[in-house]
Amino acid sequence: MKNIKLFVLSFVVILLATQFLAAQGDMITAADLGKKLKAKEKLTIVSVRKPADFKKSHLKNATNIDLKKLVSDTEPKGILKSPEDIAAILGKAGIDGKGLIVVYDDGKMKYAGRFYWILKYLGVENVKLLHRDLKSWQAARLPITKAPTPVKATTFTPNINKSIFVDESYVKAHKASAVLIDVRPPDEYHGTSTKPVSKGHIPGAKNMEYTQIMKENGVLKTKGEIANIAKGVGATGDKEIILYCGTSTRAGIVYFAFTTILGYKDVKVYEGAYNEWVVNNPVEK
């Protein structure tokens, strides 16, 4: 009888652990990263913080990517450069897209989420976001330094994943059948912002601000909580979902949550986003 109880208890522990790992998806904890570093596993750590903040302190051996350098200088603002241009920037920073890439930002998750989507769009398979809690970094004794990281330039070869990228014409053709989600704050969505950033939203889009999927400290909510929030705007795993914001920077972390935490298979990002749409198309409030 005792053996049976032990077997059942072990099974439950394994089951819970499996569910936890599945819920984590492409999120890596500081403790797990610490173990990989201690074991000297081959991986690339990428910071997407502002260059000035990176210089003050960063994870040892991390390379920094300034997301502003990945977008075009032309109008509308925020549109990504060509895959070839981005690949050249990544290669110069020592990122070849092979092996595990661990990404972190200033704790807001939106910049890490943006870069996560960019890497997925470029065909990188093994990408994880580092849990943002600085206390867990300290507990795991992750090495922090001010010293510049020696960077050895390499070659990044993109393998474009067209299934997660849509353009203006695609949105026009599918916005009635897909679940189109604007992840900006309500005032931008309704065109009532005191800042002249928005006149409204793409007709038919539902509003689900990206911060809804996070707790007050910036940590992502649980799988069940995020699923309920998604269902509130009609986003379920059996539907095509298209995400956007002003420049689709904020859409990245929602893409991450929907695909890696909820396991949704058909999630796309409208890269041109509101800034492109509003140039030649009507909006509604």
- In the chain, what percentage of residues exceed pLDDT 90? 81
Is beta strand 100-104 parallel, antiparallel or unpaired with respect to 58-59?
unpaired
Instruction: Delimit the domains of the chain by residue range.
Output: 23-145, 162-280
Residue 87 has pLDDT above 60, yes or no: yes
What does the pLDDT read at residue 13? 31
Domains 23-145 and 162-280 in one fold: yes
Q: Determine the average pLDDT of the residues in 254-274.
A: 97
C-alpha distances in angstroms, 275 versus 66, 110, 137, 258? 21, 18, 37, 23
CB atoms within 10 A of CB 227: 20
CATH of domain 162-280: 3.40.250.10
Q: How far apart are CA 16 and CA 10, in angstroms?
A: 10
- The model's confidence at residue 133, banded by pLDDT at 50, 70 and 90, is low
Region for 101 from its dihedrals, namely left if φ exceeds 0, alpha if ψ lies in -120 to 50, beta otherwise = beta
* Minimum mean pLDDT range among 10-14, 29-33, 218-222: 10-14
In the block, tokens 């330094």 appear at 145
Q: How far apart are CA 96 and CA 98, in angstroms?
A: 6
- The model's confidence at residue 195, banded by pLDDT at 50, 70 and 90, is confident
Q: Which of 137, 78, 139 is nearest to 102 (CA)?
A: 137
What does the pLDDT read at residue 246? 96
Structural contact between residues 254 and 183, judged by C-beta atoms closer than 8 angstroms: yes
CATH of domain 23-145: 3.40.250.10
Q: Which of 251, 176, 172 is nearest to 210 (CA)?
A: 251
SS3 76: coil
Q: Which of 259, 199, 185, 197 is nearest to 227 (CA)?
A: 259
Q: Which of 190, 160, 180, 206 is nearest to 270 (CA)?
A: 180
User: Which tens digit of pLDDT belongs to each residue from 212-234?
Assistant: 999 987 789 999 999 999 999 99
Structural contact between residues 80 and 63, judged by C-beta atoms closer than 8 angstroms: no
- The model's confidence at residue 9, banded by pLDDT at 50, 70 and 90, is very low
